Structure 1
Amino acid sequence: MCKHNSNFKPVKAYGRLGDRKNDGFDKTTGTIYQVFAPEDLNREGTIKDGVRKLKEDFKGLYEKWNDICPIKKYYFVANDKYDGVPAPIHDMAIELSKQSSYSHIDIDILGASDLEKIFNSLDRFEKQDIVGFIPDQNIQVVEYEALNETVNYLLTIENNINYLDKLIVPDFYEKITFNGLSQVVRNKLTVGSYQEGILIEYFNNTPGVNEVLQKKFHMLYEEAKNIIKNTKENFADCRFYYILEKSCIKNTIPIQTSVLVLMSYYFSSCDVFEEPS
């Protein structure tokens, strides 16, 4: 909403006062938002909770905020997960708007589809700020033959470093930030992660390869650390490209794509680069 409307102000709960029933507002238009976000909006008990919350919270909101910011438009934002907001909640919204005390207020409900329309009205950069990297539609799809050729090449690399399994899998993006990798490398790893399903299918068809490749990529990362010191400018990116180059049997797009998918997979499990402390 902050991207959509520069006048929108989110309200943070403050001690015992909380947010005074207001999750965000635009004082220039007198528009106020309340959020109801249960896991499952369509359960009978949850629907009753939604009706009660709409009725009681709107009353509390009006009492606490109308003198501060005269309310002209009110949105009950419901997490309907695209299933639609149940009828009893709509009925309560209509009932409230008919009451003489609130007849001057436009009361409406905002569901997931409505939020998506607002999101789609944003430009690409605003969307990216909200949801992270958005890949181009022409992502190079990993080819099975190129993946197989890459794996066979990596299996020939000698491994002379002891390897211990990582038991903790950190947050993917937290790890990128922790290692100081650039946006360009972040995008490459992110795109690679989208094709993890193909890689897992490959591993299922070739038992034992996954464990061997873990050791290979860990060895290549340790090798990169020894060669590229922390004092070098952009050392994290340099190590990334060192592993990428060493893992490619030849410099073609299908082979590079295969290596990027593999690097992304082992990056997420901390076999390459450092685990956030």
Structure 2
Amino acid sequence: MWSRLFVYEADAQQYENLFIKIMGAYKKGFQPVKPHGNIGDRGNDGWVKDEGIYYQVYAPEDITKNSLDSLNKAKDDFTKLKAYWDKISQVKEYYFVVNDKYKGVGPHISNLLAEIKITHGLEKTGLILAQNLESYFHSLAPEQKTCIIPLLESENKSKNIYLHLANTLLKVLDIDDWSRISENLIANSIEHNVLDNFYQANLLIQKTQLVAEYPQLNKSVTDLSFYILELVEHFNNNTHDINGKFLKLDKSWRQTWVDNFEEQYQRDELWTQELYKKHNNFVYSFNKFSENMRNFIEVDFYNGRVISIVDSLGVYNEMQNSEYLPQGIL
């Protein structure tokens, strides 16, 4: 029944949810703490009030790194926890819950816990790693496991929705060939098949039923959809077809004498500037979407890569670099 995928695919809040579900069945009197308003949970992710036992869940990036900053943060977090919760139920035992993904953790964490124990006069401190959580699960009664597993599998099904969407978007948007697409956009053009693919990607997002438990990820999905549509619809105006393959800014007016030259020129300049903004916004929104995929669904999504604006002609970057990353929405 237990799958290590529950652990490997869980980071941050997802791992805390996993811990709470298992501990609620395993430890008598265990209660999760829901963050409240602007005071949060005061560092307490779960406790056994009558026994003075407290648990704090740490994401791997916060505690497994052997850095002075992360260790000091952990000390400060405990100090805050004790200052608030000690008045309610004296802190006697304190445990770090760390998703080590079955790799173990360095001795600096055990040293830190020993220091906290001595400094604050606690009875016990300790670590709860992935293997401990799995052991707790296996010790449960069959009916308890039966209640927990569907909840865990449900989370995995939710993740699969996003994985399917994201991996399909990578293919439909032809992200592996993004450098060429981006250079064409810098040259004020887009291929018909790329245009069709972008419309298809937007439709795919619109047809996907997102899951309420990932609000930050959902926002990045809807933002991406918006900026995809903005980019491709820009080519509905002031463009002409080239050999049935490209749509490009229509500059045919320059081949004839026109009285309103300045007006036409300014129109082209405005169109080009708007295209650059929409180009920028798509790149930024795609990278934000990828970042949220890594935070909530798959830690190595798209192999940790980002896409950039490719400007080898030096139109916008003054030939400093051929590629650069947008810093935000324009």
TM-score bracket for this pair, using the shorter chain length:
0.3 to 0.5
With normalisation by structure 2, the TM-score equals 0.38
Name the one with the larger helix percent: 2
- Could you say which structure has the greater relative contact order, defined with CA pairs below 8 angstroms and 6 or more residues apart? 1
| TM norm structure 1 | 0.44
